[in-house]
Structure 1
Amino acid sequence: MSESAEEINTLEQDVDLAVHLKRVAYHAGMMLGIDATKDEQAYHRRRVNRLNYWIQGYGTLLGMVVTVSPESSSESDPILTRLIVSPGVGIDALGREVLINEDYCIDLGEWLRAQSETDLREGYDEVENRLWLKVVVRYQDCDVAKQPIVGRKLNLSTDAVQSSRKADSVFLTIVPEIPPENETRYKPWSSHDPIDDETPDGLNLTEENYLTAVEGANEEAFRLLQLHSRMLFALQNNAVNPPIQIDQIADSGFILLARFAIEISDLNIILDAQEGEAVVNPNDIYVNNLVRPFITTSSQLDYLSRTSGE
């Protein structure tokens, strides 16, 4: 995937969770330039992003279901098969809102033919004869409303034109990858290591005695307090902003929507397919939307508590 220098700069800012934000200090008679305007915008949007990242978490809130069209076929040979992502809402792995307001459609055969052998080999399981792919999405800026501007260079061969607005959009893509074994481990923040499963060793004697007393009095309160004690030390082995390599910046922020497998006896069937040939059949595709991270809201917990006895 290729991003503009401006988008890479935006990603570098969003990945940086440690730097203190700054907003414009307005005073009468102050002259404000473009840098001040950008700082003011960045302050507000990054505050919301960080609030989402640290408090809300990341994943799907509603929708964004990945399906195959058609769902099945009476044909035994490969046919035209599409992958569809339905409308939905979520928060990506950098705390940015993801809003899909219409169906997204991918011709799976065309997509497979456009991939290199090296990339597809990353997701091919030779033991089970399955090609594993994952669908991921993240937030992305979209330049809109082009308009003329004052040129800043002499003898430009074209008119000076720039976008006057940044529209919220999404980056949706498919990645060949065999599912990892530890995918279900609890990880509240995407860019930080998972928290430990047990009570941390850093508690002092007073805190350990307090935790023990709560355990004897109320089991539910104990489990919550134990979780809070783990949260106290969650960043002990993590910098607030762990280092991310430059070549990984463009991949930052993606959240998993689904994993799907294509049963195929030989990967060369896909690699040798000519343009215009169908290379897949929906009967050979298995989609799992439940492997994705979900965001649990207070309203969902309230609903569960009200209906637990039904």
Structure 2
Amino acid sequence: MTDAVSPLAHDAETGPLLRVTFQPGMLLGVEAMQAEQAYHRRRLNRHGRLLHGYGTLYGLLVTLEPAAATLPLRLVVHPGLALDALGRELLLSEPYGVDLPAWLAEQGAAALAAFAVPADAAEGAPRTLTLEVAVRYADCEQGLQPVLAAATNASTDAVAASRAGEAVELLLRGADPNPPPPPAPPASLPTAVEQARLDNADAATRTVLQAQLDRLHRTRGLDALPALGADSAELTLARLTLRLTTLTAPQPAPADIDLDNLVRPFLDVAVEP
């Protein structure tokens, strides 16, 4: 699998689209083919991001599967579909599980302490640890085929992926138990005529007009549209609160974990799958 953030090179662009033009006698190489794909991909992503928003469409339920005879306590994300904040589809076609005790042990006590409350609790004292489950789009290289080597080939045949499959990466990370509120949007400054329209409208119409006015002023004072970064590529699914007495390879039981799937954003669907 390639670097999960690498698709951001084109998926996060907010500038004008560029469409390849085909002319008789024009030489077209790899760059032109990539630009042709990027045009359609960015157009589709922009449609999804701006007209539909982001969030879960259906599924992607996060559950705790208790330890069985041969399996440890697992955190499982079930199949489903979502859109991230870049407008990309996140399709998980089968369950995805994580060995929770093994993941906690691998992080180490020092890393977990940054998300524990109280952070300076003595060994054996009760504390809570907040974790977040998220998903992120990733390209998955498939169909390796021989290619002409671009540089000196030392000893192996040069190969490259002929297909880039759309995949989903599961993220489990520490989370701030009290995240700060999102920044306030720019204040709307209606003109005298606009203010009169607001004042003369009934309550329901005034709410609609105010929302439209807020959208008009969202980019006021900006030199360019806000950049979309790695944070926009990650979609939160659930939040876990663990009650622990140690951060050194903890072994929590299901009764020690509170799981909240409703912290995620949702999208309305016109047709049930």
- The letter for the 2-side match of 1:261 is T
Greater strand fraction, Structure 1 or Structure 2? 2
- The letter for the 1-side match of 2:209 is L
Deviations along 1:277-307, whole A, 9 cap, x unmatched?
A: xx1211111100001111234669xxxxxxx
Match of 2:39 in 1: 43
Match of 1:290 in 2: 262
Asked if 1:229 is matched to 2:219, the reply is: no
Deviations along 1:165-216, whole A, 9 cap, x unmatched?
A: 0111111110111233455x6xxxxxxx5536xxx4421000110121223x
Runs of 5+ unmatched residues, structure 2: 120-125
CA distance in 2, matches of 1:250, 1:223: 33
SS of residue paired to 1:95 = coil
SS of residue paired to 1:166 = strand
Structure 1 residue 115: Cα displacement:
1.0
Where in structure 2 are the equivalents of 1:187-198 lying within 5 Å? 193=183, 195=185
Structure 1 residue 3: Cα displacement:
5.8
Q: Decide which moves more: 110-119 or 95-104.
A: 110-119
Deviations along 1:237-290, whole A, 9 cap, x unmatched?
A: 55654357xxxx5555101100001110232353xxxxxxxx121111110000
TM-score w.r.t. the length of structure 2 is 0.87
TM-score w.r.t. the length of structure 1 is 0.77
Query: Structure 2 residue aligned with 1:170, among 168, 171, 187?
Result: 168
Greater helix fraction, Structure 1 or Structure 2? 1
Match of 1:255 in 2: 235
SS of residue paired to 1:236 = coil
Query: Structure 2 residue aligned with 1:136, among 131, 134, 137?
Result: 134
RMSD: 2.6
Query: Structure 2 residue aligned with 1:204, among 191, 207, 210?
Result: 191
Structure 1 residue 150: Cα displacement:
1.0
Match of 2:73 in 1: 81
1:49–1:96 CA contact under 8 A, matched in 2:
yes
2:84–2:232 CA contact under 8 A, matched in 1:
no
Runs of 5+ unmatched residues, structure 1: 74-78, 186-192, 271-278, 301-310
CA distance in 1, matches of 2:99, 2:223: 42
